[in-house]
Amino acid sequence: MFPLRCLFNESPLASHDGVLYKRECHNNYNAAARLYSERFPDRRHPTNVTIHSLTVRDRRGRLAHQRRRRKYNEDDVRVVTILAVIDLDPHVSSRQVEREVGIPRRTFLRILNRLRYHAYHITLVQELRISHMQMRIVFCRWALQTIENDPKFFYYVLFSDEAKFYSDGQLNRHNCHYWSNENPHWHRTVDHQHRWSLM
């Protein structure tokens, strides 16, 4: 049988067209399927069974595909468990919950999504020191003088955002999250200014 969902993916009117062609063909499902495939050769073609199913859904007033959303009530044991786990450790991962509590990852994420919780990621901010202000002024003066000598100088400068090696250890921001229904504005000051090299 031709999947009903495929008709909805082709065009918003595709399923409606199938029902109309059935009426045009005097309720003959086979003829409606043939007519549909002749008029729309580039689309996927429904079978007579699919057009029959669409007609039944049209009669019931449910032609548009409706996904049923599962409701989680606050007394559900899983909801209470997840909220307790998040309250105890807002940095917990879905894999850790699956391992330790036994609630599947997808269920954990779906319940938190319905409860309007979000995994906020850490924002790394540059640690500013007193000497940084003077270094910025020196750099700006140098840049202005360089532009006066060669106006296209910065066209040849490549700014890359590729992976970096840090002297104080690498921080993977993807693994640093904070589950909350409000943004906690979680920051961490990092110092990237001190140079070091690998020999």
- Domain of residue 110 covers 77-116
71 assigned to some structural domain: no
Domain assignment present for residue 135? The answer is yes
Alpha helices in the chain (DSSP H): 4-10, 14-24, 29-39, 48-59, 77-88, 94-100, 105-114, 130-149
Over the stretch 77-89, which tens digit does the pLDDT of each residue have? 889 999 999 999 8
What's the mean pLDDT in 23-43?
79
Domain for residue 101, yes or no? yes
Residue 159 lies in a domain: yes
Q: Do the beta carbons of residue 33 and residue 46 sit within 8 Å?
A: yes
pLDDT > 50? residue 9: no
Instruction: Please give the structure tokens belonging to residue 127.
Output: 């640690």
Same domain for 133 and 104, yes or no, is no
> What confidence score (pLDDT) does residue 13 get?
44
Dist CA 191 CA 168 (whole Å): 8
Is 83 a member of any domain?
yes
- 129 with 112, same domain? no
With cut-offs at 50, 70 and 90, classify the pLDDT of residue 121: confident
String of DSSP letters for 74-130: TT-HHHHHHHHHHHH-TT--HHHHHHHT---HHHHHHHHHHTT-EEEEPEEEEPP-H
Cα–Cα distance for residue pair 27/39, rounded to 1 Å: 18
- Report, as an integer, the average pLDDT of 95-112: 91
Residues 55 and 82 in one domain: no
Phi-psi map region of 119: left, alpha, beta (phi>0 left; psi -120 to 50 alpha): beta
Q: What is the pLDDT of residues 128-182, one digit of tens each?
A: 788 888 888 998 999 999 999 999 988 887 665 554 545 555 566 666 777 888 8
How far, rounded to the nearest angstrom, does the alpha carbon of residue 87 sit from its chain's CA centroid?
24
Can you tell me the distance from the alpha carbon of 118 to that of 183, in angstroms, rounded to the nearest whole number? 8
Residue 68 lies in a domain: no
Total structural domains in the chain? 3
171 and 129 share one domain: yes
The more confident residue out of 95 and 186 is 95
Residue 30 lies in a domain: yes
Residues 111 and 131 in one domain: no
Percent of the chain at pLDDT above 70? 66
Q: Examine residue 198 and state whether it is found in any structural domain, yes or no.
A: no
Range with the poorest average pLDDT among 33-37, 107-111, 121-125? 121-125
